[in-house]
Amino acid sequence: MSYSEFEIIARYFNRFSSSRYNVEKGIGDDCALLNIPEQQTLTISIDTLVENVHFFVDMHPTDLAYKALAVNLSDVAAMGASPAWVTLSITLERINETWLELFSTSLFKTLDDYNIQLIGGDTTHGPLSLTIGIYGLVPVGFSLKRSGANLGDCIFVTGTLGDSAAGLSLLRKQYYVRDLIVYDTLIKRHLRPVPRISQGQALRNLATSAIDLSDGLLSDLTHLLTASKVGACLNLEALPLSIELQNNFESKQALIWALSGGEDYELCFTVSEINRNIVATVMNSFGIPCTCIGKIITESEGLVLLNNGKPIEFNNKGFDHFNV
């Protein structure tokens, strides 16, 4: 059966999703039309996922749709913004109805869960890839940025680190665990990362800088340090590792994943010493850990890793698509 671009959009992507009052025109014109509420700053982020680079050909379309959105929502979370609209550009090698049905159902479920409206996009023919644009709103002056970290600030991370990389290693059959519950937990951390939207919003008045952890702690923290023109000292023994990671893998491997595994989609942010306890209280109310893992130091000191007080070297700088 042959579908045209317009038929694919009509059949799978032009559903009624969460409908937001400030969308004057969604799908179906040359552009979408949006009326931004007063005193709100618009946030825009675009991410492309390519088959066999960012995901494998056998990734279930239900997981793919979820994760593609979650990855973008994580960028919105890192700005302290509230997600509002999404555009989807999808390039398909061929039309597989089951695949499209599963993909679009999962997409719209996730959009509804976050009260986000699909406002436009593009369906084209070619090697499978997805480009998602996500648009959020944050009150003027309250966005979190990578720049802004100050000398002496505490460095926090939400959740636990390294689980996603461990899950990926299980999916790739590079490692095995006996316990199926552990297996499922770690796989889920890789396939179903939870964007820290609420936490990002709660940090609007508290964090001095923030970034989400997509490429790995060391790589992403380095971006934050560069933007803020500061250095950092991390205490490796303070890194939050899940029970699943600690009990099923060698501690050295767990540490490598926590530092550079990537795709955890937790938030890394800085807070002035005076707000440290408030942050711990506020963030713990969300039911996931929030851990101080180090301090901001001067730019000339660089990025220092301490293992129980002793400096160590670490060369793996995290996942980078062109250098892997």
Binding residues for Mg(2+), as ranges, are 30, 45, 47, 75, 122, 212, 215
Beta bridge partners of 155: 270, 294
Task: Report whether 296 contacts 153 (CB < 8 A).
Answer: yes
By CB under 8 A, the residues from 139 to 178 that bind a second copy are: 140, 143, 145-147
Supply 57's token pair.
């050909």
Task: Report whether 145 contacts 60 (CB < 8 A).
Answer: no
| Minimum CB distance to a second copy, residue 95 (Å) | 7
Supply 188's token pair.
């889920």
Nearer to a second copy, 188 or 204 (CB): 204
- 53 forms part of the interface with a second copy (CB under 8 A): yes
What number of chain residues touch a second copy (CB under 8 A)? 71
Stretch that binds a second copy, among 166-174, 254-262, 279-287, 314-322 (CB under 8 A): 314-322
- 240 forms part of the interface with a second copy (CB under 8 A): no
| Minimum CB distance to a second copy, residue 205 (Å) | 17
Nearer to a second copy, 188 or 317 (CB): 317
Task: Report whether 269 contacts 211 (CB < 8 A).
Answer: yes
19-56 residues labelled b (16+ CB within 10 A) or e (exposed) = eeeebeebbeeeebebeeeeebeebebebebebeebbe
Which of 14, 17, 34, 16 has its CA nearest to residue 25? Answer: 34
Packed helices 163-171 and 251-260: angle between N→C axes, nearest 10 degrees = 110
Task: Report whether 230 contacts 296 (CB < 8 A).
Answer: yes
By CB under 8 A, the residues from 179 to 238 that bind a second copy are: 210-212, 227
Nearer to a second copy, 119 or 191 (CB): 119
| Minimum CB distance to a second copy, residue 38 (Å) | 7
Instruction: Kindly write out the interface string for residues 9-48 of this chain, putting x where it contacts a second copy by CB under 8 A and - elsewhere.
Output: ---------------xx--xxxxxxxxx-x--xxxxxxxx
| Minimum CB distance to a second copy, residue 57 (Å) | 13
Q: How far is CA 66 from the centre of its chain?
A: 12
The residue assigned the tokens 């790589």 is: 219
By CB under 8 A, the residues from 248 to 287 that bind a second copy are: none
Nearer to a second copy, 42 or 233 (CB): 42
By CB under 8 A, the residues from 75 to 134 that bind a second copy are: 75-76, 78-79, 81, 85, 87, 89, 91, 95, 119-122, 124-127, 129, 131, 133-134
φ, ψ of residue 285 in degrees (nearest 5): -65, -15
**Assign residue 214 a region: left if phi > 0, alpha if psi is -120 to 50, beta otherwise?**
alpha
Nearer to a second copy, 23 or 170 (CB): 23
| Minimum CB distance to a second copy, residue 67 (Å) | 15
| Minimum CB distance to a second copy, residue 166 (Å) | 24
